[in-house]
Amino acid sequence: MESAPFLLFQLLVLLFSVVIHEVSHGYAAEQLGDPTARLSGRLTLNPLKHLDFFGSFLLPLMLWYATNGAFVFGWAKPVPYNPYNLKNPRVGAAKIAAAGPASNLLVAVVFGTILRIMAGAGYQPQFLGELFALIIYTNVLLAIFNLVPIPPLDGSKVLFALLPKSESGLRAALFLERYGTLILLFFIFFGFSLILPIVNALFGLIAGSQFAF
């Protein structure tokens, strides 16, 4: 693809992938008894309800130009939920958090299955293959990145549910909550490459090596 159209596709794929991610949080909360997302109008795939100027536009464009088109990433506005509406706030928060990455993995598997069916039938149009591969990679990347156990990422909520209800577990949770943003920034700039082998391996498993970037 030419660079400008490919950038547009990357931004559109990223936008709808993060929207699906956030809406999944809201639906999970709804199923667990919290209507906050629905009442705030966030249980919709309308991207206008979820856009974040920095995370949905500015950051992806900055990363695109900084990496010469090799990497685009971003996020949408978090869908709100009220833990006091959950029967078990600790476990409920983990389930709500896990719903986001799970939805991205489901999207990746669906498009990966379509790609494999197309390949098995001998039908491999270049443009559609690249587009589907981009959708798969973006969603796998979102899922794995959000599972990193650093606040405010989804993985931290899962980690907190697994930590022992002891003084040491509480101290660990409080430390991560207090310094999570700084730790996350450090991870993005210096540790992001640690998850890329996992992302690439999972992408290859889902899409097949013939569609690897």
Q: Judge if the upstream peptide bond of residue 152 is cis by omega within 30 degrees of 0.
A: yes
22 assigned to active site = yes
d(CA 41, CA 50): 10
| Tokens describing residue 185 | 């920034």
Using a CB cutoff of 8 Å and minimum separation of 24, what contacts does 4-8 make? 6/69, 7/64, 7/69, 7/72
Residue among 22, 30, 130, 177 flagged as catalytic: 22
Q: DSSP assignment, residue 190?
A: I
Nearest to residue 36, comparing CAs of 72, 101, 81, 86? 81
Nearest to residue 10, comparing CAs of 171, 141, 200, 102? 141
Residues annotated as part of the active site: 22
